[in-house]
Structure 1
Amino acid sequence: MHKLCLNHDKVIILIDSPAENPYRELINRLIKMVSMSDTLQPKQTPNLSDVAKALGVSVATVSNALSGKGRVSASLISRVKEQAARMGYVPSHTGRALRTGRNSVLGLVLPDIANPLFPQIAQAIEAAAAAAGYGILIADSRGNVSLQTEAINRLIEYGVDGLVIVPRLGTRIADLDIPVAVIDSPSTPGNTVAADHWQGGELVGQHLVSGGHRKVLLIGKNPASIVQNDRLGGIRAGLGKQTEIDVLWIEHHEAEFGKGAHLGLNEKIASGTTAIAAVSDVHALRAMTELYHSGYRVPDDVSVIGFDDLFWASGITPALSTVRMDLPRIGEIAIASLVQAIEGKSESRKGPVPTFGTSRVPMTLIARQTCRSILSSSTSAKGL
């Protein structure tokens, strides 16, 4: 029986190892390695003083060079950064937090991370935050108001410097004790920045009208959603008064016929509908799937267009026509507005922050393969 006791009671090993044990050599080597490790000193992490000493400059100069503050020449900044990298210097997050009173971490609350749109939003927010020197903690409210409140409170308890919130539909964000950037719709009270959903809807309506469509079905999910209502309102405006419009709300339909029930698109097309516009690519795909199983061809028999340009929209057959949000720009504006408030460069230090830039970011029509013109060649010629 081997017994090994290291200093300060760090390690105690009891091993039954008779002479004939085939693992005896391995056990002895392990014991030797553990014994040697007790004599090794942990490698010291270089600090600002070490970098300053190596260059023969003051600690303040090194700090200013690495933070971009103060008057330090470009050549010296380059030398400091090269020396810091050579020595393996890593800035102390704790030290920075003590100096500034900030943790350089933001919270992001999403309404449903299972929806493929919201990971794309999270990626845009994280990229903008990283460029501004902030990390991100993500919470998912799963479309529940109480969980949204819990997520907000939990992130505040973790000490985030500010919050970016994509609110659960139909909810308003109450005043909080830290800066908050709200991403919803320009018509949402307290909104900081968002895609111009109404303008995006107008693009859809104008696109369909230009193709000769005069009877259109609009598909929404929840009538309580400000974003969805803005999108549908924009589509109506783009279609104009000359177009016959029908609206199908999926939640109302499923409340009557059951979850996942057919949307009744057969009847709509039989009554003369030539185009379907959905408030999301997800609902557009559902419509296309139902049409396929009913024997209809898109776009030969009916045109379909969605919203959001989700990552798979260009990969399906036929490729989905849709409207794209400028998520990188939205992320940049949201983070810039938040950082302005956090770092004291804005009058708003608590609650929803004012927009640092425009609050409405234009959307872009992405015309692919699911929409076609139904104008006759003679009619088309007259319009040229």
Structure 2
Amino acid sequence: MVSIKDVAAAAGVSAATVSRVLNDHPSVSTATRTRVLSAVEDLGYRPNAVARSLRTDQTRTLGLVISDVLNPYFTELARSVEGAARALGYSVIIGNADEQPELQDHHMRTLLDRRVDGLLISPTDGCSSLMRDAAQAGTPLVFVDRWIEGMDVPVVRSDGRAAVHDLVAHLHALGHRRLAIIAGPAATTTGRERIEAFREALAAYGLSLPDAYIGQGDFQAASGRRVTEGFLGLPEPPEVVFATDNLMALGALDAVRAHGLSVPDDIALVAFDDIPWFVHTDPPITAIAQPTGELGRAAVRALVDRIEGRTPQSVTLPARLVVRRSCGNPPATQRSQS
């Protein structure tokens, strides 16, 4: 294995000079820096990450705490974050909160103990004292997908309001008037935002949202099944179920099939958060797609900016409606666009 002494010998300098070059110390001349970096490349030298962290007080490691690793949306987000971080010379350690605030805090504490340079967090439920203490202590933090209102932390997220309005317009054009929603936890910003957008869109078309057509879920498949069972037991069941995440949509689909019903002939189904599986269901499921890859990359850039002393800005990207056949055959104009 090539050592720093080998690089120093090849470049004709001391090991201390090589160290200064690798740590971007300003005292090294341009000629010496060029000679050292050339030796590094020729020999294929790779600095020891742990040793570098002791010298620079950086570990070149980011922490990512996601809400649920079993949710395909967060799996794709984590993949995007890892790729973007690697391209910038950082590694990523992932913690799965499993939608549990106490597990979220456990992972945060563990990552901070391991001296990660910064944290990307998709909060599960409100703001813990640990999260607030970390922010106040100056720990580089970026919220991704979800956020905590009132905290001075950059947020990278998508805005689904326009897509929800497009969804209701699509459903209205198909003749659907009784629309129900499986909402996410009210303690999460995404849970609140999606039901608010749905109410606004319904009102724009003169439609109401009765209490009986509001089901409280928890972004898990079991809650989608439970809520949909309740909808199907109503004297006048809804014509459409809008599940505000993909796992609850799959749970809703299970409930519909368990009742011997079909989508969309007996009831229509739509999901927030598109996933690759939805094109393989029968019928393919209409969904609101978030730009997951872009969100992950933007979140990493924001966090690295924060770590390296720059001032990152919050980023909001638009979600979009993907029309398939789970709500009925779309009008010809929509078919041509999708």
User: Which TM-score bucket, shorter chain as reference?
Assistant: 0.7 to 0.9
Corresponding residue number in structure 1 for 2:95:
139
1:218 shift after superposition? 1.2
Residue of structure 2 equivalent to 1:213 = 176
Task: Identify the range of structure 1 (193-202 vs 125-134) with the bigger mean alpha-carbon deviation.
Answer: 193-202
**Who is 2:66 aligned against?**
110
**Which amino acid is 1:189 matched to?**
G
Per the alignment, residue 5 of structure 1 pairs with: none
8 Å CA contact 1:65, 1:80 repeated in 2: no
Q: CA deviation at 1:136?
A: 1.2
The answer to whether residue 335 in structure 2 is matched with residue 371 in structure 1 is no
Mapping of 1:148-187 within 5 angstroms? Answer: 148-171=104-127, 173-176=131-134, 177=137, 178-185=139-146
- 1:339 matched to 2:287? The reply is no
Contact 1:109 1:138 in 2 (8 A): yes
Report the Cα distance in structure 1 between the residues aligned to 2:197 and 2:8, rounded to whole angstroms.
Answer: 60
C-alpha distance in structure 2 between counterparts of 1:193 and 1:327, whole Å: 11
Letter aligned with residue 181 of structure 1: V
How far off its partner does 1:119 sit?
A: 2.0
Report the residue type matching 2:99 in the other structure: G
TM-score, normalised to structure 2, is 0.78
Question: Contact (CA 8 Å) 1:210, 1:373: kept in 2 or not?
Answer: no
**2:328 maps to amino acid:** R
Tell whether 2:48 aligns with 1:92. yes
Deviation of 1:314 after TM superposition, in Å, equals 2.1
- 8 Å CA contact 1:276, 1:305 repeated in 2: yes
> How many Å apart are 1:133 and its aligned residue?
1.3
| Match of residue 266 from structure 1 | 232
> Do the aligned residues in 2 keep the contact of 1:186 with 1:360 (CA within 8 Å)?
no
SS of equivalent residue, structure 1 residue 121: helix
What is the Cα deviation at residue 90 of structure 1?
A: 2.0
Q: How many residues are treated as equivalent by the alignment?
A: 314
Change (3 A) 1:229 1:358: same
Within the candidate set 287, 290, 314, 2:279 is matched to 314
Question: Which residue in the other structure is 2:209 paired with?
Answer: 245
Amino acid of the structure 2 residue aligned with 1:211: L
Per the alignment, residue 31 of structure 1 pairs with none
Deviation at 1:59, TM superposition (A): 7.1
* Structure 1 residue 230: Cα displacement: 0.7
Give the counterpart letter for 2:186 in structure 1.
P
String of CA shifts for 1:206-226, please: whole Å, max 9, x gaps: 332333322211112433332
SS at match of 1:244: coil
Matches within 5 A, 1:26-45: 45=1
- Amino-acid identity (%): 27
**SS where residue 202 of structure 1 aligns?**
helix
Measured at CA, do residues 219 and 76 of structure 1 come closer, stay the same or move farther in structure 2, by a change above 3 Å?
Answer: same
Structure 2 residues not aligned, in runs of 5+: none
- Letter in structure 1 aligned against 2:208: E
Where in structure 1 are there 5+ consecutive unaligned residues? 1-44, 347-355
CA shift for structure 1 position 244: 3.5
For 2:104 and 2:145, locate their aligned partners in 1 and report how far apart those are by CA, in whole Å.
15
The secondary structure found in structure 1 opposite 2:214 is: strand
Correspondence for 1:351: none
Residues 139-191 of structure 1 deviation map (CA, whole Å, 9 limit, x = unaligned):
22333323322321221111111111111133353131311111244783335
Provide the residue aligned with 2:188 in structure 1: 225
* Residue from 150, 162, 165 that aligns with 1:189: 150
Higher CA-based Rg: 1
SS at match of 2:85: helix
Q: Structure 1 CA distance, aligned partners of 2:149 and 2:281?
A: 33
Structure that is richer in helix per residue: 2
Say if 1:331 and 1:80 are closer, same or farther in 2 by CA, change over 3 A: farther
> Which moves more between the two structures, 113-122 or 175-184?
113-122
Pair 303,136 (structure 1): closer, same or farther in 2 beyond 3 Å: same
Matched, 1:323 2:303: no
